[in-house]
Structure 1
Amino acid sequence: MSQKITTDIKLSQQTRKKIKDIEDRVEQKYKAIDIKSCLITIDRFCDKKDSHEELSENVTIEDWLVEYKAFKEKQGSCLEKPSDNFFTNRDKIHEIKQQFGTATTLFFVDTQLVVNIEKFFSGLLLSYMTIFDKNSKRLEVDSTLVFTETEDQKTHQSFHRLRDKWYAHTEINSKKNSLVYQILNDKIKFHEDKFHVQDEYFANNYKKLYSCTTKLLKYIENDICKRISKLEKNLPEKDKTILKEYYKTKETENNHIK
């Protein structure tokens, strides 16, 4: 039986700080995993042909309904119950997707799903950069320890600049939306409803962000192992006693409940 480290366990301040740092790293680990998973989704949007395996032929409607029910419980009533010819239609869509790619297929369904991929990418990049935020209450990750190769450092710095100068502030996108005008009969006419919008397509950097996130995840996982090992090795005797007594107390409580 495992016990969660809670605030009512009166550990020393030094041990408490070490535990918090490890918990921060664990949170950063799962954030990096989520980012990688979402970047794989962008890869499926952007690549002409999908690289993932084809749908299994032996998937039954019963299997699908189990997944459908679980998803619907999370998402509410946004899904309709599949009809009897669901798998026939699924196979047709899958053929189109294999031929033209996910992006083209979804473009037929809803153009905004593809058009807004840039907004999706910007959210991932901002989430990625928060892990390196020096002003965060979480344990900071030193990028120089993560990216030891010059090229990786340059790539990471480019994302840092993109976050600071484009998404967070307006230094390099100050003219993102520009008023346009015409000269008609020697008179200047401004158009309030016809703005020139500057392109902001940075989503084509998703593979570079995936590579950086992979290296970041590897660093975090190694750092967690090192910190846990050091914590176990240098745990003060007083804190060991406290943890053992707390563990026994909770174990006894659980036995009484059973």
Structure 2
Amino acid sequence: MRNRQRGSNLGLLLLASQVFQLGIDNIPPVTLATLGLNVYLFLFPVKPLLQTCLSVREAYLYRDWSRLLLSPFHHADDMHLYFNMASLLWKGIKLERKLGGAWFAYLLSVFSLLTGLVYLLLEMGLTHMTEDSSYSLQCAVGFSGVLFGLKVVNNHYHPGGATYIMGLPIANRYSCWVELILIHIMNPGTSFIGHLAGILVGLLYTAGPLKSLMKTCAGFVTSNGQHGGQQTYYNSSGKSSLFYREILI
């Protein structure tokens, strides 16, 4: 497992340039706060990277469940942070304006937790099916799993159109799957399972029971004396995580 590479912090400069080009006033508050949290934790991490990345061994076998909360918001290096946050800006601006700030914050919280849980389940399944313990040792950090989930949701709320990937037009409904495969082919060190987990969580929201469950939970909270109805929470309707390996000694 390698340590964080700080380098020249070119990624931070690129990110700052992009934020100022967009204009801070044009970035919705939840998106801006999420970006700020990721940058802050990059500069002042809660723990060393080895103690924040998510793996079956560390989270499930050793019961370090705090990694579920920490791993999405820590990044391996400044370029890893830049690519993920640039993607967050584009998706966050569109989705937060569509869903409203409170519901978007709720969505980010649920996706951050569920993507990690699905990642663990997939890695555990691969360990048992292949009898290869290395799947339980793969340790991932970064926000890109959540971003893949947000891409599915964004394509659901903005159907139609195409995304150009390597110069080829790909229908938006299929673009996340094409990106999943291409990213892994072009950079085998990226977290294929982490990205797949994000897509599955996005599908649970758009085509499964997750959205209804979230509305039910939000309605339960508001019915206990907070703000009125569910409408308070919603309106109508990477670069990739890097893998790290540890060797058991």
| TM-score bracket for this pair, using the shorter chain length | under 0.3
Q: Rg bigger for which structure?
A: 1
Higher RCO structure, 1 or 2 (CA under 8 Å, sep 6+): 1
What is the TM-score with the length of structure 1 in the denominator? 0.24
TM-score (norm 2): 0.24
